[in-house]
Amino acid sequence: MKVLKFGGTSVGSAVNIKKVQEIVSGQSTDVVVVVSALGGITDKIVNAAKMAALGSDFYQDELEAIRERHFDVVTELFERPSGVMEEIGPLLQELEQVMMGVTLVNELTPKTMDRLLGMGERLSSLIISRYFGCELKDASGFILTDSQFGKATVDFAKTNAQIKSCFEQFHGVAIVPGFVAKNKAGEYTTLGRGGSDYTAAIIAAALDVDSLEIWTDVDGFMTADPKVIRKAYTIPVLSYTEAMELSNFGAKVIYPPTILPVYKKGIPVHIKNTLRPEADGTLITQSVANGRERPIKGISSISRIALLTVQGIGMVGVAGISMRLFTALAKEKINVILISQASSENTISIAIEEHSAEVAEEAIRKEFAHEIASDQINKVVVENNLSIVAIVGENMKHSTGIAGKLFTTIGRNGINVSAIAQGASEYNISWVVRNEDLRKTLNVVHESFFLSENVELNIFLIGVGLVGSHLLAQIARQHERLLNENHLNLKITGIANSRKMVFDRDGIDVANFKNLLSESEKMSKVSEFISEMISMNMYNSVFVDCTASGEIARQYHRILDANVSVVTANKIAASSEYENYALLKKTAKQKGVKFLFETNVGAGLPIINTLNDLVNSGDKVLRIEAVLSGTLNFIFNTLSDKIPFSKAVRMAKDAGYSEPDPRIDLSGVDVVRKLLILARESGYRIDKDDVRINSFIPEHYFEGSTDDFWAKLPELDQSFESRRKELSGKGMKWRFVASFEEGHAEVGLLEIGQQHPFYDLEGSNNLIIYRTERYNEFPMLIKGYGAGADVTAAGVFADIIKVSNI
């Protein structure tokens, strides 16, 4: 035998009732079907009762709506509805008469309310039993309770005996109204919240059935709220303990006390979806073997929470403080959801429903008035706008490091925890966060504990010129491979160019980003872009800077301080004043995020990453010698008797090798920045003024506008050509070289002979030579493309992927 329970949504319409019939008729055993009221009917009854108690005639409008709803369902279900309408007529008349009585006395007692509340189930069960053509068994005839109206207590000894007697000769299908019962005086009572589930569990336990199926409008227990986490999925199996823990902390699939009768009997509970009967649902059993790879089963949360903290040195070692605290709250019927107490005993924090906060504070101040007056208790504080989050899993007690991983992950994403609680059973860990951090917390934890198959990065990109557009194209090309092979989902959630910006929490279509930007009504402002990114408060956020803007670079500290990683092709921040560079590195470390700028030197070459590995492994950098400007190397490799200096510079600009203003490259400023970065990453404190620049172009060429520069540049062509011929005759080449040794830094144009590694550098290639304590006799050389939008974008791309490995 089975017991099946169908909720209000499951029987909310004629179409759904027909689906219920299909489900019931497909059973291969005797079935007891417990039904709730038609969806929304109970709320209408409550509204009507409240209006009636106020003496308002508007209750009649609600009654009319209730009548029409039932008549509509009957009309849709039956070819000849008149007979069923006659049967439900007396029940509707009873409902109207009770309401009229409430109006006359202007009073709505709990006893009357219980009689009214049960009318929805009595009506729905009658209609469904007639449609199914099966027996109707009235739960109020065999479930006996006390007279605590609103949440009556069941007399199980007598109820179980009456259930067994009622179903002794039963075979086939029986319909039972949920929620309703009677006391010894024959007066209607109700079973409180989750009453229909409770009815089903009571019957299932009394009859020792094979299973209890609770049919609702969801597929079962989810790993998290799917409205918040799109990647949440149905949990196939839970233990009773796990199911009750998840329900206690916000999972609204079942109400924990209602399954207590079947829990005691060890009867499995199956949660199924009426609208998707083919879905597997969630099976709840006595104990579940939970693999070590899944130490937690799910995450639940409760919003609109207040945290009340009582603190004082006078609480330490004093017996009865906790008892008095909870007694004072119990007198006000305030439910305590979470308790967190310092081991020193001088602080107790309790989480309660927000609407109870004022009453709770008043009750505690009254109870401890003497201690407050004498400063034994110096703080009674209420903090509102909070949420409780809980992770649940029986296997947590067998897995070390869960709490450490949990709070490290939360902290790294900038989420502040107000209170923590964990029971000795280790079935759950609960903590309190701000409401605005709830979505972020749920996503971070869901992903961190591998409840999500993929790691997701939320990318905010500013700058979609050559490098930025190449980056987007590379992300688009590699997206499927990264998702399938690396389980990494790169989601572009914000993009800005110099004119417009656009944001989308669900991800921006990369193929259409240009149209989205042009159609956007949001004008591009750096501070507003960053403010919007921070206010979106998304987990695993990465700010990507593909510009050369000093204004944007000055915002890095603000971004890192908001627990957002920074990946940048912009050299300005890492080559700014040493104090600012050090602050950025320190902030990133403190916040547990990344500040990555591999492409600041050598575009996509692994120059900085290799240097970091050397230093972090204990090696010491003794000397750096490098050709770091792909632009200058391209220019000097391109010079010939047919290509003058001015044309070579223009070609470098058109090819995307140079900075937007080529004078930055020609002045040596760009190389100085790169050398500063390498020296600093080697562990040396150095600033721009410490670098000697040997310029090869007269200073006045750098004055004025870029147009002025381009106009004057051909003046240098003849001088460079004559010097080039002379150099070529000696079998030498020009290379703009950066060097650092023993604190001395210098950049300048050198004449390089054929025996030097720099001589054979082609095109825009870079070459870096590291001489270290380990690599002294035979220095380390790194060589390759050092400029170009595509390779620079590839380097930025690589840094973005590194962020996912935090």
Distance CA 289, CA 432 (A): 29
Angle between helices 119-132 and 82-105 (to 10 degrees): 180
| Number of other CB atoms surrounding residue 619 within 10 Å | 17
Distance CA 736, CA 485 (A): 42
| Number of other CB atoms surrounding residue 6 within 10 Å | 30
Provide the total of helices (H) and of strands (E) in the chain, helices listed first.
29, 28
Tell me if 360 sits within 8 A of 261, measured CB to CB. no
Distance CA 726, CA 676 (A): 33
Pairing state between β 336-341 and 347-353: antiparallel
- Of 294, 295, 328, the closest CA to residue 310 belongs to 328
* Active-site pick, 19, 674, 688, 712: 674
Q: Which helix (H) or strand (E) covers residue 18, if one does?
A: helix 14-25
Pairing state between β 173-177 and 135-136: parallel
Q: How far, CA to CA in Å, does 335 sit from each of 338, 388, 706?
A: 9, 14, 71
Distance CA 462, CA 518 (A): 15
Q: Indicate the residue type of 623.
A: R
Distance CA 33, CA 175 (A): 5
- Those residues with Cβ within 8 angstroms of residue 518's Cβ, 6 or more apart along the chain or in another chain: 500
Three-class secondary structure of residue 434 per DSSP:
strand
Residue 674 is a catalytic residue: yes
For residue 430, the cross-strand partners are 390, 421
Q: Which residue has the tokens 């992903």?
A: 447
Tell me if 11 sits within 8 A of 125, measured CB to CB. no
- Of 563, 510, 567, 509, the closest CA to residue 539 belongs to 563
| Number of other CB atoms surrounding residue 713 within 10 Å | 20
The two structure tokens encoding residue 191: 């079973």
Q: Which residues of 498-530 are buried (b: 16+ CB within 10 A; e: fewer)?
A: eebbbbeeeebebeebeebbeebeeebebeebb
Angle between helices 321-331 and 357-367 (to 10 degrees): 130
- Those residues with Cβ within 8 angstroms of residue 354's Cβ, 6 or more apart along the chain or in another chain: 304, 305, 306, 384, 385, 386
For residue 341, the cross-strand partners are 348
Helices (H), 667-766: 669-681, 706-712, 717-729
Ramachandran class of 367: left when φ > 0, alpha when ψ lies in -120 to 50, beta otherwise = alpha
Distance CA 605, CA 482 (A): 21
Q: Indicate the residue type of 667.
A: S
Q: Residues with catalytic annotation?
A: 674
